Amino acid sequence: MYNLAILDDNSGFCQVMECFLSNYFQVSTFTDTQIFLEGIKSQVYDLVLIDLSIIPDPEMKIHNGCELIRYLKTTMNQPPVLVLFTGWISRNPLEEGRQICPLADGFLAKDSDIEEMLQEINRLLASKQLNKTD
């Protein structure tokens, strides 16, 4: 079973996503960036959904989800699939997401249909598996 993490400053949203996604994946949720960064040191995640608006970590100079994605991509040997997950992009998130955060592996709009989210998560996880075998 794939292991997912969700980082969002809205605990209610984390609970809803965990409730839905735990039917398909092992899910951990975080509302605090520092706690997430500690957790990712000891736990391997296959995919992480990161909200654009996160609780900043000024010590690490991380003020939003894009900065966190950049940090993870540059400091981890094998980062998980990193998905920018936000209400700031529309239901056609790819082009808008690439402009906002070019280092993200994928993009999901929070207003997407739950089934669309699940399909995109599965697609991204499958592409990660294909890249491992290359």
Listed in sequence order, the residues at least 6 apart from 28 whose beta carbon sits closer than 8 Å to its beta carbon are: 3, 4, 5, 6, 39, 43, 45
CB atoms within 10 A of CB 115: 8
pLDDT of 12 reads 92
Domains along the chain with CATH numbers: 3-104 (3.40.50.2300)
Q: What is the pTM of this model?
A: 0.88
pLDDT of 114 reads 85
pLDDT at 34 over 60: yes
CA dist., res. 100 & res. 119, Å (int): 22
pLDDT in tens, 45-58: 999 999 988 877 77
pLDDT in tens, 58-116: 777 888 899 999 999 999 999 999 999 877 666 555 666 676 788 999 988 888 888 88
Task: Report which of 19, 10, 13 is spatially closest to residue 54, judged by C-alpha positions.
Answer: 10
pLDDT of 93 reads 55
pLDDT of 63 reads 86
Task: Pull the structure tokens for residue 48.
Answer: 């992480």
Return phi, psi of residue 43, to 5°: -120, 135
CA dist., res. 10 & res. 74, Å (int): 26
DSSP string, 64-128: SHHHHHHHHHHH-SS--EEEEEESSS-SSHHHHHHHH-TT-SEEEETTS-HHHHHHHHHHHHHHH
